[in-house]
């Protein structure tokens, strides 16, 4: 588990890399693909997003931009999963830039298998890992501007907790992996009260100040979506076939 894109090594790549941005980028991506978006194209840079999306037919694209939790002026959407209804996103490509989540995805785009995880699709991620058995798996929390975040760490812990269960393993077998043990412990402590944990989290507090109570509620649900976003080409995610 790496807690931010900045802490994620660039000198090597794992067999599988998983980006986590529970509040809210990866939750939004799962929701948009589940609602019929054609694909999600991620950018860390807003100007580049605007330029590249120009080449896409206007009626088939949506530009989503978030900075500091708020929608970027000039975009069609911000980064709320609740805006990604079938009426809005079906058949469209989402060109998206967010403060941290899209940077996490870009940091790991060289891995042969890149997935996007959130609490809402945790079981779908685990099921795929069990079926593919990659030898090395990195989970990259997006954090906030280089800092640790509770919500991404608890999601990494939720993934490992279910994985241990499916593989009939115990936490003791992960001795020596301090990041994973602390993430699983955090999840076990808060699994029945994730919404409250998100209220304590620094980005949760930022979103509450922006009146995004419903977003926190939605993002704190576990295993409600079977959608697994997977990188199809560098920077472009679609639903796993």
Which residues contact ligand MLT by CB under 6 A? 21, 23-25, 66, 69, 79, 98-101, 142, 207
Q: Which is nearer to ligand MLT, 52 or 71 (CB)?
A: 71
Nearest distance from residue 149's CB to ligand MLT, in Å?
9
Minimum CB separation of residue 109 from ligand MLT in Å reads 16
Closest distance of CB 170 from ligand MLT, Å? 33
CA distance 92 to 157: 33
- Distance between CA atoms of 228 and 239, rounded to whole angstroms? 6
Q: Which is nearer to ligand MLT, 53 or 79 (CB)?
A: 79
CB-nearer residue toward ligand MLT: 23 or 116: 23
Collapsed DSSP state (helix, strand, coil) of residue 115: strand
Max distance between CA atoms of the chain, in angstroms, equals 53
Strands, E assignment, the chain: 16-20, 39-43, 61-67, 70-71, 93-97, 113-117, 137-141, 229-233, 236-239
Q: Cβ-closest residue to ligand MLT?
A: 98
Report the residue number, 25 or 163, with the smaller CB distance to ligand MLT. 25
């Amino acid at each position: 588990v790496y807690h931010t894109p900045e802490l994620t090594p660039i000198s090597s790549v794992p067999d599988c890399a998983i980006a986590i941005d529970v509040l809210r980028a990866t939750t939004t991506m799962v929701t948009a693909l589940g609602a019929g978006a054609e694909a999600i194209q991620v950018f860390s840079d807003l100007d580049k997003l605007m330029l590249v999306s120009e080449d896409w037919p206007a009626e088939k694209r949506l530009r989503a931009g978030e900075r500091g939790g708020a929608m970027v002026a000039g975009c069609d959407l911000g980064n709320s999963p609740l805006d990604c209804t079938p009426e809005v996103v079906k058949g469209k490509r989402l060109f998206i830039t967010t403060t941290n989540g899209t940077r996490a995805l870009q940091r790991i785009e060289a891995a042969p298998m890149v997935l996007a995880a959130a609490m809402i699709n945790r079981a779908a991620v685990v099921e795929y890992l069990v079926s593919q058995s990659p030898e090395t798996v990195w989970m990259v929390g997006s954090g906030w501007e280089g800092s640790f975040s509770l919500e991404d760490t608890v999601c990494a812990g939720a993934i490992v907790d279910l994985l241990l269960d499916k593989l009939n393993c115990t936490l003791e077998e992960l001795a020596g992996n301090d990041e994973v043990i602390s993430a699983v412990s955090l999840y076990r402590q808060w699994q029945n009260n994730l919404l409250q944990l998100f209220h304590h989290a620094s980005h949760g507090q930022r979103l509450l100040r922006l009146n995004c109570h419903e977003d926190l509620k939605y993002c704190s649900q576990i295993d409600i979506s079977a959608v697994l976003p997977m990188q199809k080409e560098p920077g472009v995610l679609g639903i796993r076939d």
